[in-house]
Amino acid sequence: MDEMPYVSVLIPVLNEEESLPELHKRLQDTLKGTGKPYELIYINDGSTDKTGILLEAFHTDDKRAKVIEFNRNYGQHMALFAGFEFAKGEIVITIDADLQNPPEEIPKLIEKAEEGFEVVATYRRHRKDSLFRKLPSYIVNKITAKLVGVKLRDYGCMLRAYRRNIVDYMNMCPESSSFIPALANTFAKKITEIEVGHEERKKGISKYSPFRLLRLNFDLMTNFSLLPIQFISMLGVVIAILGLLFAAFLVVRRLMIGPEGEGTFTLFGILFFFIGIQIFALGVIGEYIGRIYQEVRRRPRFIIKKELM
């Protein structure tokens, strides 16, 4: 029981009392089958149901099941950052608690990591989600691949494996918000992606609302690239040039035709378009400034209320 774990499995949990007993049993069976020393690290991300009671029971029954409890909800990625700080394994696996990613796929990730890959990403086979979930994920995948420079099919699948050195590098990053799959890929040299199964969510409800998905996109844009603000700058130049050309056209037209009352609504439409562009540009700039403000305050990323190790 005191043997140093070779595999650490991190499970962020938020109000998953219905799925936890089955998840824990399947994780234990799968990891025992690998024959490698392991630890399970559950990160209770501010659950308000019986999740905390179940996790304490898991720890009492098996000391390899460890628990980190936050004082409130900080989000999935902050939960994983907390888990990274406590994980001792040479290979660190992350997995959601909703049972949509089968724990039985974990040995495949361990095998790939042992081949020398620093990051083992996964993509979901026959994904069992609605179009409402698939479309935002498709957009996130395209944006992430562009910003990070590593083309993967599925950045949204949290069933992933990281070697110890990549975890250590991520632990050196103190930013208050980040997107872990993208962050890991900025440090890794050898990255692969394998296919894994995917199941329908049968218990509980999804914790990713449209607002959280929007925040995730802003995390990607502002944490890994200056592309959005550079795009706004270039757009401003293009609009300024078009505005000058249009003004010159109006001057020539007035000289040739004389004063005319037509076109007033067209001018209003163009004006409102420019105003919309300006407001959008201010919003993007404000997003960067707001995140700078969050960083300079140096507040803790999360507060751990309880540890069961």
Write out pLDDT tens, residues 218-241.
666 666 666 666 677 777 777 777
Q: How confident is the model at residue 215 (pLDDT cuts 50, 70, 90)?
A: low
Residues whose CB falls within 8 Å of the CB of residue 293, separated by 6 or more in sequence, listed in order: none
Distance, CA of 93 to CA of 206 (rounded, Å): 21
Instruction: Report the mean per-residue pLDDT for the chain.
Output: 82
Q: Where are the domains positioned within the chain?
A: 7-206+301-308, 227-297
Neighbours of 150 (CB within 10 A): 18
pLDDT at 137: 67
Global pTM?
Answer: 0.76
Q: What are phi and psi of 124, to 5 degrees?
A: -85, 125
Report CA 246 to chain centroid distance, whole Å.
43
- Write the burial class of residue 132 (CB in 10 Å: 0-12 exposed, 13-18 middle, 19+ buried): exposed
Q: Is the pLDDT of residue 20 over 60?
A: yes
What one-letter code names the amino acid at 197? Answer: G
Write out pLDDT tens, residues 258-281.
666 566 656 666 777 777 777 777
- Pairing of the two strands 160-163 and 91-94: antiparallel
Distance, CA of 296 to CA of 55 (rounded, Å): 35
Fold entry, domain 7-206+301-308:
Spore Coat Polysaccharide Biosynthesis Protein SpsA; Chain A (3.90.550)
By three-state DSSP, how is residue 192 classified?
strand
Nearest alpha-carbon partner for 38 in 26, 48, 28: 28
Q: How confident is the model at residue 11 (pLDDT cuts 50, 70, 90)?
A: very high
pLDDT at 252: 79
Six token digits for residue 216: 């995730």
pLDDT at 231: 73
